[in-house]
Structure 1
Amino acid sequence: MVSTGIVVLIAVIAALLGAVGGFFLARKYMQDYFKKNPPINEDMLRQMMMSMGQKPSEKKIRQMMQQMKNQQ
């Protein structure tokens, strides 16, 4: 028969390994995600507005950034 202490020890070790493995997998996933989809900044908004034929004013840029922050 296996002692209760050994079973508990194995369970704790397995939980720790799972947590560490999950952390690194999530970290790798987020790094890849941000490489493919970088967050929008003010310069990107300016470029987008200019490509649509609008003249980007600071007020419009700040309003759009604030709207995006409020949506999150």
Structure 2
Amino acid sequence: MDTIWVVLIALGALIIGLAIGVFVARKMMMSYLKKNPPINEQMLRTMMMQMGQKPSQKKINQMMRAMNQQMDEPKKKK
């Protein structure tokens, strides 16, 4: 009878630990991506040139603004 309780407590602790770990990892990843965005202006400029477009600064600024708004959307939904 005592072994059942030990196993149940261990499983409960494991599930709680996994849940907390997922939330902490998600929070850390979001803050990392906020500080180090995966795409910067130079990358956008290079991609547009590879696609055959001549990138103007106005167009690059619009795309960066749109990408930043997309990154901020999940925070606003909460």
Shorter chain as denominator, the TM-score bin is 0.5 to 0.7
More helix by share: 2
The two structures have a TM-score, normalised by structure 2, of 0.54
Structure 1: tracts of 5 or more residues without a match: 50-55, 62-72
Runs ≥4 residues deviating over 4 A? none
Aligned-residue sequence identity (percent) comes to 46
Instruction: Name the larger-Rg structure.
Output: 1
The two structures have a TM-score, normalised by structure 1, of 0.58
Structure 2: tracts of 5 or more residues without a match: 53-78
What value does the CA root-mean-square deviation take over the aligned residues? 2.6
Query: Partner of 1:8: helix, strand, or coil?
Result: helix
Q: CA deviation at 1:40?
A: 1.2
Aligned length: 50
